[in-house]
Amino acid sequence: MWTPVRILMLSHYFPSGQMTHVFALARELMRQGHAVHVANGRVRTLRQWRYVRALAGPVPCSIRLGAGHLAALVRRLRVQVIHAHTKRTFAVGARLAERTGVPLVITCHARTLISPEHEPAFAQARRIICPWETLADEMGPRGGRTRVIPNGIDLEQFPFRERLPRETLRVLYLGRVDHLRRPGVEALCQAVKGLAGVELVMASDRPAAPWTQYVGWLANPAPWLAASDVVVGTGRAVLEGLATGCAALVLGEGWDGLLTPENADRLARDNFIGRARGTRPAPDAIRTALLELKQDPERRRALAAWGRRFVAERFDIRRVASQTAALYAEVLAELRDRRAVRPVRG
């Protein structure tokens, strides 16, 4: 018989799959009977606050990460677990845990976070969650505290829709355009330039080439994914696209190409970020993949059916939340055991 847990999640404003995951996990934990409050700092404008609220839905949320405010939240909500998700909250969570005696859990969402700067927080954390296997390998076991729990997808928020035949192949790029991804985005834009019957929509934080359609950063990309045939991107964008019935091209720091049943396990080990093949993005390779998909609607349909099953079997947010809640229960059981054997001073 499981027991509800009261959780304080710490995050900060950073439009990305990372922040989306924080609120998706919080919503599902609440649906499963747990109490969650998200403190999501660095929200500085009304537009940012509206974006946060769109992600949060029914999840109680505040935007202050000050020590006094968080300590008061812990007391008022009788928090049992502090769960820090972002680099700006690791040290905040560690100090709060030390001040309140509430155990700390950290999710490390990127390789770059495994650095000396964050080692004191990692050392204090009772568990360290890594969302994919190669990240956990780099983190190391740390005395059995490291666990692999993937970022989950809400299958109700991203329903499957079978695509009707049409003349144009709609391709949706979903993700940021930072310095690591820019070469891939430029190659993608060159690949579709003048390509008959293929249109590229950019759902990102900045526009790309003038011959593409730019729709900006989306709080809810599900409608655009449902209206597209192919999703291009990394990580969570790939999984959201698969859930709705898109074929997926993995393009990020490098080019891993079309996601298929044959390469899915290998690419999942590295969170579909374009590292697996060690191949630089090139317009010709991307154009070839798009033309093959355009000319083979039967393959697109087969990949759509497989992709939905793949996400449902391995990345369903209900399963991810259950695994996370079980991890919280482990931490709390260990804490009770330590307190039970603490010697009585005479």
Give the per-residue pLDDT at 21: 96
The predicted-structure confidence for 131-189, as pLDDT tens digits, reads as follows 999 999 999 999 999 999 999 999 999 999 999 888 999 999 999 999 999 999 999 99
Torsion of CA 193, 224, 243, 84, to 10 degrees: 100
Report residue 345's pLDDT band, with 50, 70 and 90 as the boundaries: low
Secondary structure of residue 256 in the 3-state scheme: strand
Residues 148 and 242 in one domain: no
Residue located via tokens 């009772």: 126
| Mean pLDDT of all residues in 259-279 | 95
pLDDT at 130 over 90: yes
Q: Which domain holds residue 257?
A: 169-314
CB-based contacts of 260: which residues, under 8 Å, 6+ apart? Answer: 303
Residue 107 forms part of a structural domain: yes
Q: Are residues 174 and 135 in the same domain?
A: no
CA gap 297, 316 in Å, rounded: 27
**Residue range 305-324, pLDDT digits in tens:** 999 999 999 999 999 999 99
Whether 38 maps to a domain, the answer reads yes
Phi, psi of 133 (to 5 degrees): -70, -45
Q: Are residues 10 and 148 in the same domain?
A: yes
Of 131, 126, 143, which is closest to residue 331 (Cα–Cα)? 126
| The pLDDT value given to residue 237 | 97
Residues 246 and 111 in one domain: no
135 found inside a domain = yes
Same domain, yes or no: 119 and 230: no
Residue 114 lies in a domain: yes
Q: Is residue 84 within 8 Å of 107, Cβ to Cβ?
A: yes
Verify that 125 and 206 share a domain, yes or no: no
Residues 49 and 81 in one domain: yes
The verdict on 270 and 290 lying in the same domain is yes
In a domain, 328, yes or no: yes
> Higher model confidence: residue 19 or residue 344?
19
In a domain, 162, yes or no: no
Quick one: 14 and 146 in the same domain?
A: yes
Q: Say whether both 321 and 186 belong to one domain.
A: no
Q: Which residue has the tokens 């695509």?
A: 163
33 within some domain: yes
- For the segment 8-50, what is each residue's pLDDT rounded down to a tens digit? 999 999 988 899 999 999 999 999 999 999 999 999 999 999 9
Single pTM value for the model = 0.94
Please tell me whether residues 177 and 310 are part of one structural domain: yes
Query: What domain count does the chain have?
Result: 2
Residue 163 in domain: no
How sure is the predictor about 340, in pLDDT bands with cuts at 50, 70 and 90? confident
In percent, the amount of the chain with pLDDT more than 90 equals 93
Whether residues 93 and 59 fall in one domain = yes
What CATH code is carried by the domain that includes residue 27? 3.40.50.2000
